[in-house]
Amino acid sequence: MIWLAIIALLIAAVTVWYMARPLAHAGLADDRERRHQLELLRGRLLTQLNELDLEEADKNIDTSVLTDERSRLEAELARVLRELKALTGKREKKKEKRESRRGWVVALVILGITLPLSAAGLYVLHQRSTLAYLSNPQAPADSSVPPMVMEMVARLEKRLAEQPDDAAGWHRLGRAYAVLGRGEAASAAYARAYQLTPDDPQVVAEYAAFLYEGDPQNTGGQVFGLFSHLLKLDPENRDALWFLGFAAYQKGDHKQALGYWDRLLKALPTDSPEAEHLRAITAQTRQNLTRK
């Protein structure tokens, strides 16, 4: 009787899962539509940035107007790219969950035959889906980029070949390469921009963040030097304060980490989620410090 009850519960669970599938599909459709809209907006923003470059080359626009408009467009583009990245991550997680659910259903069938093997079956099936996901990374970032964007990058490359001391151009090229997923080229372009303008906080911040995102386990070397320099240029820079605190924590210097993070807390809005999260981290760090 116990076995019959278990099998009945399992059948009910599978039925509920099957009935809930349309809701999941509706969510996927919403995500696809949002992604499509974001990709269209990304294309428009890149086109507008391209037009600004042409206006700048022809000297048909006031410098201050150009700077303000470029900053606005780049900020909007950065927001769009962040949202696209979040949607991509969400899609990959859903894909992994679907694979895991398929394994779960198969495991339920196995469970009807032999209960002791079910846990191992679930684990193995989940591991297979994870390995399949890891062995099939997403397509390169530039696979869906409109041709006009590639043309814009090509024009910028050509201009920099003729004007190799254009720091702003190298900065924009580094950002473009990063968006396209061309890591080595982005690193080289950012390095050139930094070489030409080592005291530009925006260049230093983006270069440091790019290098750190490429190797999050490395909190020393060049990345540490760049964030340290950034903090000298901008003593309230949040990224620098967070990173240097984290680097100190990684080295076991909890007191120094708290010094950076307490400064960061003062720079954050008191009621922000970031401040709340950081307060929890600093509280735990202080506890660790008192235990020593």
DSSP class of residue 252?
T
Please answer whether residues 182 and 157 qualify as being in contact, where contact means their C-beta atoms are separated by less than 8 angstroms.
Answer: no
Q: What is the DSSP string of 27-59?
A: HHHHHHHHHHHHHHHHHHHHHHHHHHHHHHHHT
What's the pTM value of the predicted model, to 2 decimals? 0.57
State the DSSP H helix or E strand holding residue 173, giving kind and residue range, or none if neither.
helix 167-180
What CATH number labels 143-197? 1.25.40
Please answer whether residues 201 and 237 qualify as being in contact, where contact means their C-beta atoms are separated by less than 8 angstroms.
Answer: yes
DSSP class of residue 163?
-
Rounded Cα distance between 207 and 213, Å, is: 10
What tens-digit pLDDT sequence spans the chain (292 residues)? 444 444 455 555 555 455 555 544 555 567 778 888 887 888 777 777 777 776 776 666 777 777 778 778 877 877 888 787 787 766 655 555 555 444 444 343 333 333 333 333 322 333 322 223 222 334 344 455 667 778 888 888 999 999 999 999 999 999 888 888 889 999 999 999 999 999 999 999 999 999 998 888 888 999 999 999 999 999 999 999 999 999 999 898 999 999 999 999 998 888 888 889 888 988 988 888 887 6
- Domain residue spans of the chain: 2-138, 143-197
Residue found by looking up tokens 């198969």 in the block:
106
